[in-house]
Each structure stands twice: as C-alpha cells, then as structure tokens.
Amino acid sequence: MKYILTLAMMMLPAMVWAAPEVKVDITAEKIVMVEKDGKVVEQRAVANEVLPGDELVYTLAYKNVGDQPARDINIDDPIPNDTVYVVDSAYGPGSEIFFSIDGGKTFKQPSLLSYEVDVNGQKMKRKASPEQYTHIRWSTREVGVGKSGVASFRVRVK
C-alpha cells in the first residue's frame, strides 16, 4: 500500500525535485526438512518462532521507488545476536558481497578478512572464519528507477 502511494505521488506533476528512494524489506524464513516422494527436501516456512539449531533465511528485497536512479547502494545487515552466519550463504545477484569482522567498521571480501593473534609473543595473521563475521554488505553501483533487487543469507540459531 505504501509502495502504491509512493508511486502515485511520483506521478504527481507537483513533485518539485527528483530523488531516488530505495525501500528495503526483510523477511525471515526457517528451513524445514520435509519428506516428499521418498526424498528429504528443504522447504521454507515463515519464521516467527525458531528452535536452537534451526536455520533462518533472511531475504532482503530492495526497490528504488524514487524517480531518480540511486547510486552507491550499500545494504548492511549485522549477523543477529544468538545466530551464526552459515558459510557461503550470502547471495545477491548483481551485488558485490563484503563481510565485516569488526562490528561493521570495515568491510572486505572473505579472502581478505584477517585478524591478528598473539602466538608466543609474535603477531600472526589469521584468516577470519565465517563464525567471526559480524556484518554483511551488499554493494551495488546503481539501482535505476523502478528497479529492484534481492539479497539473502542464512544464519543458524545458536
């Protein structure tokens, strides 16, 4: 309804300046395993409540409902409390995906994420493991007027 309203407003000639307006929506679904034709297959169900050990799929849908293209779009999502990022689950067609291990201060590609540890007085570089990821960022250069996109990732409830 809100989208429709916004669209309607866009069409009003009274609109004085053009601006991009990127809306983002988030949905959480849990993965349930069901048996179908003798095979165990994965299905998604709306997740209002989960059990520890469940996997959650967060889907981030975004759309530029403005009347001007949006630039340098960064969708930032922290890994929620009490959950762990599932390896290789970040998905985002058309986006570059970066991760942070420092609470969202810096974002890098997984291969470049490292941290220093003190081993017998020597500083050693260690590659960050997915459990250490604190934030995910999907970067897109431009989202045109009326264009939409999707990003998703999975976490496991601790």
Partner 1 sequence: MKIISNTIKGMLQFAAVALVVASVAMPQAASANTGANATILNVVTVNYKDAAGVTAYAETASSTVTVNLVGALPTIATPANQTVASGGTSTYVYTITSNANGSDQYNIAAGNNATNTTGSSSTPSVASIVLGSSVVTEVTAVDTVKIPAGSATNLTVGDIVVIGGVDYKISALKTPAGTVTANGTAASHANTAGDGQAGVTTAEVPVLVTLVANNTAASATTVAGSNTAPAFTVGTTPATTGNVVGGLIAEQGTFTVAVTGTAGPNPGPGTVVTPITVTPVTVPPTGPPTITTPGVTTTFSGPNLAITKEVSVDGGATFAATGAGAPGSTLTYRITVTNNGTGDATSVIVTDPMPLYTTYTAGTAKSGTAVGTTYVAAPTVLTDAVDVPEPYDFTANTATLNVGTLAGGATTVLFYQVTID
Binding stretches for partner 1 (CB under 8 A): 6, 18-28, 31, 33, 40, 42, 47-56, 58, 60, 62, 68-78, 80-83, 86-96, 143, 154, 157-158
Which one, 108 or 157, has the nearer CB to partner 1?
157
Beta bridge partners of 62: 24, 149
Which one, 69 or 102, has the nearer CB to partner 1?
69
Asked if residue 90 lies in contact with residue 153, where contact means CB atoms within 8 angstroms, the answer is yes
Quote the least distance from Cβ 76 to partner 1, whole Å.
5
Quote the least distance from Cβ 124 to partner 1, whole Å.
17
Q: How is 76-102 classified by DSSP, letter by letter?
A: EEEPPTTEEEPTT--B-TT-EEEEESS
Which one, 50 or 108, has the nearer CB to partner 1?
50
Which one, 76 or 116, has the nearer CB to partner 1?
76
Which one, 22 or 102, has the nearer CB to partner 1?
22
Quote the least distance from Cβ 11 to partner 1, whole Å.
16
Asked if residue 30 lies in contact with residue 47, where contact means CB atoms within 8 angstroms, the answer is yes
Query: What's the distance, Cα to Cα, between the start and end of the chain in Å?
Result: 36
Residue with tokens 């889907």: 59
Asked if residue 152 lies in contact with residue 58, where contact means CB atoms within 8 angstroms, the answer is yes
Quote the least distance from Cβ 10 to partner 1, whole Å.
12
- 5 Rama sector, left if φ>0, alpha if ψ -120 to 50, beta otherwise: alpha
Quote the least distance from Cβ 104 to partner 1, whole Å.
9
